[in-house]
A = this chain, B = another copy of it.
Amino acid sequence: MTVVLPRGAAAPGPVREDGVLRHAEIGTLELESGFRLPGVRLAYETWGTLAPDGSNAVLVEHALTGDTHVASGRARPGAPADEQRAAEAGGWWEGLVGPGAAIDTDRWFVVCANIVGGCYGSTGPASPAPPEVDPEGRPWGSRFPMITIRDAVRAEEALADALGVGAWRLVIGGSMGGARALEWAVTVPDRVRACAVIAACAQSSAEQIAWGQAQNLAIRQDPDFRGGDYYDGPAPVAGLGLARRIAHVTYRSAAELHHRFGRTPQGERDVIGARPAERGRYQVESYLDHQASKLAGRFDANSYLVVNEALMSHDVARGRGTLEEALARASCEWLVAAVDSDRLYLPHESDVLAAALPGEVRRRTLTSPSGHDGFLIEGPQLGKLLVETVLRED
């Protein structure tokens, strides 16, 4: 495998670059299904510097539609302006990761990779298929394989090799990131010292599968989806938008929606019209319309299907006996945290996981009115939990 440095980048040296998108070529990935995915590239960013003994590496795993930009950073002096801007932009766990933050990048070498199948720089359905699959180099589209959480971990293991990381001091993630963190600790136990599973579970539940199915159908039933081979035409933005609306409601709480929006109309137009198409929207509809168009503007529908299917497939015990037997493979210490108002990844599921884990397990709760998204929003609380538990000074 080869690490491909960004355009114009100097060879790795003493100048620290944080939050800059890079790519690693990891070759062929052997998938759980038996499918061999050739020519895989993983996008990733790093913050801080790997210690000579390699003991300070932290892997941060992003959630379903997340990207590699966990926190703002800084490109090397002289880097192109767009690279500087991208590095300095705020990230999705801004404040949790950075110099002096709970995950202190003056101390830890932090890595975040885009999941294989995603659309933030890693090989995914929108990537050109290799010549043996498509001599014309058209995108994978409908031919892109199913990826499991375990497959994603195997890809990231190759990235760890490339970065010279023997074992992670900590693997941490929320939601689908939590599923990946857990799967890391069980699939590659000798390379994980501590694992933080936030707002996630051991095995995707019937409820989570049901919502996943609805989201996937919303995309697949969009006439612009065309079975997944839509890259030469309009993207299925309406279907992806509907998928996001469904998901987004499950990510928040009914109480929060009530307090923020209630039944208030958006603007002046009456919500009672002669025909439904002629009525004004409610604020909560306008809010979800905004969430839908934001996602449709930044995410590829095929990648949404791939990562959603990966999450539906999440079962750390698959092929490994009972849940307890599966988890007994791991040898790290644990933080398991739930969001108290989460209605998608129920706190009870964190209890089930914590009860089945071996070794030292801290089961904690994030307090938030915002539901599942609390794992993103309540960064300061989570930081406090981390420094008290898996990142404490010994």
Report B-chain residues with C-beta under 8 Å of the C-beta of A305: 276
In the complex, A221 has a CB within 8 A of chain B: yes
Q: How far is the CA of A223 from the CA of B221 in the complex (A)?
A: 9
Report the minimal beta-carbon distance from A202 to chain B, rounded to whole angstroms. Answer: 11
**How many copies of this chain does one complex carry?**
2
* B275 x A210 contact (CB < 8 A): no
Report B-chain residues with C-beta under 8 Å of the C-beta of A293: none
Q: Pick the residue among B146, B258, B285, B318 that contacts A207 (CB under 8 A).
A: B258
Segment from A10-18, A160-168, A237-245 that makes contact with B:
A237-245
Instruction: Classify chain A's interface size.
Output: 35 or more
Q: How far is the CA of A34 from the CA of B31 in the complex (A)?
A: 61
Interface string of A141-153 (1 = CB under 8 A from B): 0111110100000
Report B-chain residues with C-beta under 8 Å of the C-beta of A230: none
Q: How far is the CA of A332 from the CA of B190 in the complex (A)?
A: 70
* B206 x A275 contact (CB < 8 A): no
In the complex, A384 has a CB within 8 A of chain B: no
Interface string of A101-130 (1 = CB under 8 A from B): 000000000000000000000000000000
* A207 x B34 contact (CB < 8 A): no
* B210 x A263 contact (CB < 8 A): no
Report B-chain residues with C-beta under 8 Å of the C-beta of A271: 313
Report B-chain residues with C-beta under 8 Å of the C-beta of A283: 206
* B218 x A260 contact (CB < 8 A): no
Chain B residue nearest in CB terms to A305: B276
In the complex, A391 has a CB within 8 A of chain B: no
Report B-chain residues with C-beta under 8 Å of the C-beta of A261: 206
In the complex, A213 has a CB within 8 A of chain B: yes
In the complex, A381 has a CB within 8 A of chain B: no
* A276 x B309 contact (CB < 8 A): yes
Binding site for B on A (CB under 8 A): 31-35, 142-146, 148, 203-207, 209-211, 213-214, 216-218, 221-223, 238-239, 242, 245-246, 249, 254, 257-258, 260-263, 271-279, 282-285, 288, 305-306, 309, 312-313, 315, 318, 343, 346
